[in-house]
A and B are shown apart, each in its own frame.
Chain A
């Protein structure tokens, strides 16, 4: 990330796109405390959260999924879900919430199965459900569509929209342009760690800098071969 400044609109679905290595996941890592910025601020509801540890940022209502799923492989689906709730939450409440979300992503029949034995798509769904356990306000989804079949993807997108209607703020990193262009209200485009464009889908699709970032490299690569 290089001198990047952006503001995610509250209560909306925003998208981050860019070629591989452009800094999208790094952005998520900076927002969630997994990476520390050398300079600059991360303002959340007016508070600078840069430098806080990931668990502190999570407790402020920010959650995320990972580009490569990071479910707990030697723990069951139910245990993955229960790992998120604080010890102060009554067990019955935690279990009800876990079962509700497990049912939402159609994993009830695998409730007692180890996370590592799920298919890739099922692991993605588990990670998504796990991220919602504590009813967060800001949800960062890193490539949620990767490896998920179209039916389940639509199911996931329906729930994302329901979350947005409840007032949640959602940010999606995706390479699937159908997801980004049809579901995001604002799009941020990254290239080499720099924000090169920002705007609604229609504007982004016509932006010369975006086209150059995606297709300019392909033309250069083709010329070399």
Chain B
């Protein structure tokens, strides 16, 4: 990409940020919440895409990191009186540490074995949160002190989304991203060409763990109550994966587009087809998967509306 194209993309992001910064004030609580969730799913989809899209290791357990972040925030605020903002950093560091510890063994697995191992890791994290009740309050959950959190959490999620977009963009349009893609394409050939696949995979996995943790912390502070089933909900991982895939796995714009389109579709079907929204939502996913198997960005690239490759 030329410097002009990077600048253009930066301007687009800047305009979007300005709009999102000013637009929530006149909106209803519901619409503000809708925007917050949309931004959250952009963060989650982009994060999932770093390990699963760029690197090709499809994770079915990324909700574990979301939950770790949520619990870090809740425990530190409710039990230790911390201000909520620094707890987000703690959650990110904790998620990164967990990612390194579990990533080293599980990233030796390939394909469906890695996916299932991550599913197991997520379930294991949920079980730990449930049984370690001296720390996590177990099945009772944790209630955070009551506070007016709506605008604080909105702007925190906006900042998180911008940071995630910038990081994903930087990775995707760099030689680091190219090397991650090489691992995805053919790990044996990548190693034979000088790429330390273990180090790169672990780096991508750790990076992809940190942003969901911060998102989980923000959500915990927003809803003021968490328990294991709520924050280790497998639907969150499914949403991350679907949004990234439907937008265009392995691209930078794809997960953003996928998150916005799919979450909007989910809300629209819920509002308009309250008794059958899951069917309508599922039908939408099937149609996109059938007619745009490489996602919306893949569809655009095949028709020449977007350029091939990440680096030009």
Contact = CB atoms under 8 A, between A and B. Distances in A.
Interface of A: 32-34, 53-55, 58-59, 63-64, 66, 70-76, 78-79, 82-87, 91, 94, 112-114, 130-131, 134
Given A79-B309, A112-B312, A74 B181 contact: yes
B107 to A, nearest CB: 15
Contacts of A75: 178, 181-182, 185, 309
15 contacts: A32-B192, A34-B192, A53-B196, A54-B192, A55-B192, A58-B193, A63-B192, A63-B193, A72-B185, A74-B185, A76-B308, A83-B181, A83-B193, A83-B195, A86-B194
B175 interface: yes
Contact of B194 (A78, A82, A113, A134): A134
B190 interface: yes
A74 B251 CA distance: 12
Contacts of B186: 70, 72
A76 B182 CA distance: 11
Contacts of B181: 72, 74-75, 79, 83
Contacts of A33: 191-192
B23 interface: no
Given A75-B185, A76-B308, A79-B181, A94 B196 contact: no
A130 B308 CA distance: 19
Interface size class of B (residues with CB under 8 A): 20 to 34
Contact of A82 (B175, B184, B197, B307): B175
B179 interface: yes
Interface in B150-190: 175-176, 178-179, 181-182, 184-186, 188-190
B310 interface: yes
Given A83-B178, A91-B175, A66 B309 contact: no
B191 A53 contact: yes
B140 to A, nearest CB: 48
A94 B191 contact: no
Nearest to B250: A74
A72 B195 contact: no
- Looking at A54, A91, A113, which has the most chain B CB atoms within 10 Å of its CB? A54
A170 to B, nearest CB: 17
A83 B190 CA distance: 8
A68 to B, nearest CB: 11
B311 interface: yes
Contacts of B190: 83
Contacts of A72: 181-182, 185-186, 189
Nearest to B188: A34
B193 A79 contact: no
A59 B192 contact: no
Contacts of A76: 308-309, 311
A216 to B, nearest CB: 35
Contacts of A87: 175-176, 179
A129 B310 CA distance: 20
Contacts of A91: 175
The 7 closest A-B pairs by CB, nearest first: A76-B309, A72-B185, A70-B189, A58-B194, A54-B191, A83-B182, A54-B192
Contacts of B196: 53, 55
A217 to B, nearest CB: 31
Contacts of A114: 308-309
Contacts of B310: 79
Nearest to B310: A79
Contact of A84 (B193, B197, B308, B312): B193
B192 A113 contact: no
Nearest to A116: B185
Contacts of B308: 76, 112-114
B311 A79 contact: yes
Interface string B193-208: 1111100000000000
Contacts of A32: 192
A76 B188 CA distance: 19
B194 A59 contact: yes
A83 B192 contact: no
Nearest to A28: B192
- Looking at A74, A78, A113, which has the most chain B CB atoms within 10 Å of its CB? A74
B2 to A, nearest CB: 12
B250 A83 contact: no
A63 B307 CA distance: 31
A1 B309 CA distance: 41
Contacts of B179: 83, 87
